[in-house]
Amino acid sequence: MAIERILKDDASEEKGERARMASFVGAMAIADLVKTTLGPKGMDKILQSTGRGQTVTVTNDGATILKSLHIDNPAAKVLVDISKVQDDEVGDGTTSVVVLAGELLREAEKLVASKIHPMTIIAGFRMAAECAREALLKKVVDNKANEEKFKTDLMKIAKTTLSSKILSQDKEHFAKLAVDAVLRLKGSTNLESIQIIKKPGGSLKDSFLDEGFILDKKIGIGQPKRIENANILVANTAMDTDKVKIYGARVRVDSMAKVADIEAAEKQKMREKVDKILAHGINCFVNRQLIYNFPEELFANAGVLAIEHADFDGIERLALVTGGEIASTFDNPESVKLGHCKLIEEIMIGEDKLIKFSGVEMGQACTVVLRGASHHVLDEAERSLHDALCVLSQTVNDSRVLFGGGWPEMVMAKAVDELARTTPGKRSHAIEAFSRALVAIPTTIADNAGLDSAELVARLRAEHNKEDSNAGIDVISGSVGDMSELGISEAFKVKQAVLLSATEAAEMILRVDEIITCAPRRREDRM
C-alpha cells in the first residue's frame, strides 16, 4: 500500500545531503557576490530596480547590496539578515561578516564531505570563536584616558572605514568631519542630532560641517530675514482656513451677504488663533502643516518669522535641537516649552536658499552638508559617512582599538591554529578549518587589489610568528606593511561583532538537514 503524502501537492521537501548542499551553495553564492567589494580596492555594484522609474543605486556597502536583492534560497536569507544586523548594530563590517560566514561554510562543506558530523564541526567552531575573541582581547589598545591619543585613534578608525568607500579620495577631510560631529555628541550614540543634507553641485571636497541646524525651507514674503535671540514655537497645527470639517456637510444661505459673514467669521477665527500664538512672546513660528496667506500676512505684520511645511523629520529634529516641544494647542502659553537659539538667518548653498539656526540649546547638534556631482554620488557618500559616524559613536563608548588591514584576522588565525594543535579528536579539524576561513579575509583584500594573495598571506603568516608583530596588508604599496606606522585601525566592537555573527550564522546553516517549501496559496476562482 502506497503511503499517502503528508504535504500538499505543490509543497516540496529536500532531505539530508541535498538540503545541506542547497544551503551551502546559496550561502557561498551570496558571499562570492559581495566578496569583490571588500577592502580599500573593492569595486562597486550597480543595482537597478525593475519597478517604475527604474531607480539606479551605485554602492559598495554590503548591507545595501544584500538588502536590495530578492532571494529565494533560505540559507542566503540568513546571511542577508546578519549583514543587516551588523549594519544596525555597529554600522561597518557588513561585507566582512558575510564573507567570513561564507568561508566558514565552504570549509564546513569539505569537513562534512569527509564524514565529520555537523555537530562536531559546530563544537569546534564554538571553541575556535571563543579562542579568537580571547586573542583579540589580549591585543586591544585603549586610549580613553588620554584625550589627544584617543582623538588620533578616532581619526585613524574613520580613515580606515572611509578608505573602502567612495569618500576614500578625500578621506582626511571626511574623517575630520565625522570625528568632529561624533565628539559633539559627548558619548551618546543617538545620531538623530547629526543631520545630513545632500545638495547636488560642487565636488565632494566642498562638503562641510555646520554647527547648529539647517532647515531646507525658504523664508516667507515680507518676513524678517534675520532674527537674533530667537524664541521658537514648534507646532503641528492647521493654519489653513477652518473649513467645516464634517464630511458631506452643507451650508445653505439665502444671500451673498451671508457668505461674506461666514468668510469674515473664518477670518476672525484665524486671527484669534494667530493672536493666541503671538501671545507666547515668540519671534519665530515653525509649523509642520501649511500656513495660508492670511495668517502669514498677520505673522509678517507682527514681525514674526513663520516657516510652513517643515516636514516631520525637520520639526522633530528642530524641537530636539532647540530644546522646545511640539505644540498643537495654544490656550495656555505657560505650559508650552519654547525653543531658543542665538541667530536665525538665510543662507545659500549652491542654488538653494536654506534657513540656518545657529547657537542652539543642544550644543551636540550639527549639520553635515554633502555636495557632489549627482544624486547617486551623494546617496553613496551619505551611506559611507553614516557608516563612519556609526562606528565612531560606538567607539566613543567602547574605546578599544585594534589595527586593521588583515592584522586582526592573522592574530586570530594564529591563536586558533595553536588551539587546534592541542585539541584531541575530530574537533581539531573544525578548529583548523576556522583558522583557514579567517585567513580568507586578508586573502580577499589582497585579491581585490590585484595582488598575489598566496604570496602575501604566506609572508604575513611568517611575520605574525614573530613576537608582537603589527604586520598587515598594505594595498597601496602592494606588500606587507606595519599597520601602526600606516595608521590603519579598526574598532574592536566591529571585529567582535563580525566574528560572533558570522560564526553563529554558519552554525545555524550547518544544523540544517531538511528544507520544506510550503505550497503556494491558491487564489480561488472568483468567477
* pLDDT 10s digits, 248-296: 677 788 888 887 888 888 888 888 888 888 888 788 888 888 777 777 8
Cell of 490: 579598526
Mean pLDDT to the nearest integer, 485-507 = 90
Cell of 437: 576561513
Mean pLDDT to the nearest integer, 344-363 = 79
Of residues 87, 92, 153, 387, which has the active-site annotation? 387
DSSP state, 191?
G
Of residues 37, 57, 95, 367, which has the active-site annotation? 95
In this predicted structure, the answer to whether residue 380 has a pLDDT above a threshold of 90 is: no
Quickly state the pLDDT bin for 437 (edges 50, 70, 90).
very high
Of residues 37, 64, 94, 161, which has the active-site annotation? 94
| First and final C-alpha spacing in the chain | 39
In this predicted structure, the answer to whether residue 48 has a pLDDT above a threshold of 90 is: no
Contact present, 183 and 271 (Cβ < 8 Å): no
Determine the pLDDT at residue 524. 66
Query: In degrees rounded to 5, what are phi and psi of residue 489?
Result: -130, 155
Q: Which H/E stretch holds residue 375?
A: helix 375-397
Contacts of 130 (CB under 8 A, 6+ apart): none
Determine the pLDDT at residue 527. 53
In this predicted structure, the answer to whether residue 4 has a pLDDT above a threshold of 60 is: no
Higher pLDDT, 514 or 496: 496
Alpha-carbon gap, residue 282 to 519, rounded angstroms = 63
Determine the pLDDT at residue 243. 59
Of residues 37, 61, 423, 444, which has the active-site annotation? 61
Nearest to 42 by CA among 387, 478, 445, 380: 445
Alpha-carbon gap, residue 31 to 97, rounded angstroms = 9
Q: Which H/E stretch holds residue 335?
A: none
Contact present, 322 and 360 (Cβ < 8 Å): yes
> What is the pTM (predicted TM-score) of this model?
0.84
Where is mean pLDDT largest: 52-66, 105-119, 309-323, 466-480? 105-119
Determine the pLDDT at residue 124. 93
Q: How buried is residue 133: exposed, middle or buried, by Cβ count under 10 Å (0-12/13-18/19+)?
A: middle
Contact present, 36 and 43 (Cβ < 8 Å): yes
The sign one gets for the Cα dihedral 187, 189, 192, 195 is: positive
In this predicted structure, the answer to whether residue 526 has a pLDDT above a threshold of 70 is: no
Contacts of 441 (CB under 8 A, 6+ apart): 38, 96, 99, 100, 103, 406, 409
Higher pLDDT, 492 or 279: 492
Alpha-carbon gap, residue 169 to 158, rounded angstroms = 13
In this predicted structure, the answer to whether residue 133 has a pLDDT above a threshold of 90 is: yes
Determine the pLDDT at residue 2. 46
How do 352-360 and 339-349 pair as beta strands? antiparallel
Alpha-carbon Rg for the chain in angstroms: 30
Mean pLDDT to the nearest integer, 104-128 = 92
Q: Is 387 a catalytic residue?
A: yes
In this predicted structure, the answer to whether residue 129 has a pLDDT above a threshold of 90 is: yes
Mean pLDDT to the nearest integer, 292-307 = 80
Share the mean pLDDT of the chain: 83
Q: Decide: helix, strand or coil at residue 209.
A: strand
In this predicted structure, the answer to whether residue 19 has a pLDDT above a threshold of 90 is: no
Mean pLDDT to the nearest integer, 175-196 = 80
Higher pLDDT, 53 or 353: 353
Where is mean pLDDT largest: 139-153, 185-199, 336-350, 490-504? 490-504
Determine the pLDDT at residue 180. 85
In this predicted structure, the answer to whether residue 411 has a pLDDT above a threshold of 60 is: yes
Mean pLDDT to the nearest integer, 104-124 = 91
Nearest to 430 by CA among 503, 489, 358: 503
In this predicted structure, the answer to whether residue 1 has a pLDDT above a threshold of 70 is: no
Q: Is 237 a catalytic residue?
A: no
Contact present, 527 and 435 (Cβ < 8 Å): no
